[in-house]
Amino acid sequence: MMHTLPLTVFAMLTAWLVPGLVLAQERPYEWGWGMHPMMWGAWGFGMMIMMILFWVLIIVAVVLGIRWLLGQGKEPRSDSALEILRQRYARGEIDKEEFEAKKQDLL
């Protein structure tokens, strides 16, 4: 019984210390003002472009959504002068030649 206790303690210490020693770096990575090392690889630039594209699409979607919502309450604009001319022609106040001539003036 006495003989197995030190072996158990040794196994526990080994299981705890060895991964730390194996995974230890020569020096810790210094996070400073520089960019992440992956930034300079192809994946870094690709991810940066995808992130910029993502945010541009989000901003464009929000702007278009707001413009669409604001435009919902408005009636389509019609040319009131041309509408009055059509009504006068429909009532028979002017003939076709006069209607066409005034229509060309308005357009």
The answer to whether residue 21 scores a pLDDT higher than 60 is no
Instruction: Identify the pLDDT of residue 57.
Output: 97
Q: What does the mean pLDDT of the chain come to?
A: 75
pTM of the predicted structure, to 2 decimals? 0.39
The answer to whether residue 53 scores a pLDDT higher than 80 is yes
Instruction: Identify the pLDDT of residue 60.
Output: 97
Give the three-class secondary structure for 101.
helix
Per the rule left: phi > 0, alpha: psi between -120 and 50, beta: everything else, 75 is beta
Instruction: Identify the pLDDT of residue 35.
Output: 56
Instruction: Identify the pLDDT of residue 72.
Output: 79
* Model confidence pLDDT, tens digit, residues 63-79: 999 998 888 777 766 66
Residue 95 has φ and ψ, to the nearest 5°, of -90, 180
Lowest-confidence range among 1-10, 37-46, 82-91? 1-10
Tell me how far apart the alpha carbons of residues 105 and 107 are, in angstroms, rounded to a whole number.
6
